[in-house]
Amino acid sequence: MDRKISIVLPVYNGSEYIADSINSILTQTYKNWELIIVDDCSTDKTPEIIKHYKESDPRITICRNEKNLGLPNTLNVGFSLASGDYYTWTSDDNLYLPYALEKMIDVLEKEPEVLMVYTDFSVIDSSGKVFYVKKTFEPKYIVAQNVCGACFLYRSETAKQIGTYDPESFLAEDYDYWIRIYRQGNIRHLSENLYLYRMHPKSLTSTKQELVKEQTYKVMERHFLFLYEAARKNNMIYNFFDGLMDVSTSNYKNTYKALTSMNIGYTFHCKKRQIKNKLLSIKHD
């Protein structure tokens, strides 16, 4: 197996953890990869750290944006430089476990009909202590939420067909991209824990939860007809509707009104769900 994996690592002021992230790539059992680090105008010690790694390994390329572009555009810069057969990207505060690339590429090599594979992962704190293992959902649940998580690999030809990451979907750009891949063909869940996802006070998921919801709602709204049809085929209409309601913020009432007008049974489903959630909250208290 000699196909190359292109890994894009976007970074902005990531000096605290980026060495660990890069080391997790250097220690991969699968060796045919290129690492493209795109520095989005860091002002800390990130440039010095990544320069050290580039000098020690020819598989590492560094690119620095002339101005701060944000995550989606920075990913697009990175992948415009990619030459691999398979693509993935990671974050400066997260880590691959040693067999991650090997396990994922093995799936795509053996199953040519699969366009993308994603895995389970561990959630860790700032010191690296494991909180819990996240068992990701099967692909059909993409109609209700971002099932793909943080560890994934997809075919470069698929990426070239569907285009770049959408800057307008910032904070949900990955979910939008996975839906676009799912529209093209099969994606596969590999039920193995192959990644460490770090939660800390500075992480985007910690600081911008409400905005993540708003952006996720816009992505689901944009792909509404496709997601609705996919949900209908899998008998998951209520899952899809629940997913929309879960990320509805300022448009909660209008969304509820629209969905219940589409399916009268959803009114009763929501009432049962409210009762169930109330009972669960009482039990946890």
Express each pLDDT in 220-229 by its tens digit: 999 999 999 9
Residue 282 pLDDT more than 90?
no
Residue 230 pLDDT more than 70?
yes
Confidence at residue 276, expressed as pLDDT on a 0 to 100 scale: 65
**Domain final residue, candidates 179, 207, 235:** 207
- The parent domain of residue 142 ranges over 5-207
Rg (C-alpha) for the chain, rounded Å, is 20
190 and 226 both lie in a single domain: no
pLDDT band at 275 (very low <50, low <70, confident <90, very high): confident
Chain position carrying tokens 């990644």: 195
27 and 159 both lie in a single domain: yes
| β-pairing verdict for 86-89 and 95-96 | unpaired
Confidence at residue 14, expressed as pLDDT on a 0 to 100 scale: 97
Amino acid present at 250? S
pTM: 0.94
**Domain final residue, candidates 182, 207, 232:** 207
Alpha helices in 185-264 (DSSP H): 204-207, 209-222, 224-233, 237-246, 252-262
Angle of CA points 258, 261, 267, to nearest 5°: 100
72 and 123 both lie in a single domain: yes
Q: Are 86 and 105 in contact (CB under 8 A)?
A: yes
Q: What does residue 115 show for φ and ψ, rounded to 5 degrees?
A: -90, -25
**Could you tell me which residues come within 8 angstroms of residue 227 by beta carbon, excluding any fewer than 6 positions away?**
142, 143, 179, 220, 240
Q: Virtual CA dihedral for 75, 104, 56, 50, nearest 10 degrees?
A: 30
Q: What confidence tens digit (pLDDT) does each residue in 135-156 have?
A: 999 999 999 999 999 999 999 9
**Domain final residue, candidates 146, 176, 207:** 207
182 and 51 both lie in a single domain: yes
140 and 123 both lie in a single domain: yes
Confidence at residue 272, expressed as pLDDT on a 0 to 100 scale: 86
Q: What confidence tens digit (pLDDT) does each residue in 59-90 have?
A: 999 999 999 999 999 999 999 999 999 999 99
Chain position carrying tokens 């890069």: 22
The total number of structural domains that make up the chain: 2
The HSE-up count of residue 137 (CA atoms within 13 Å, CB side) is 10
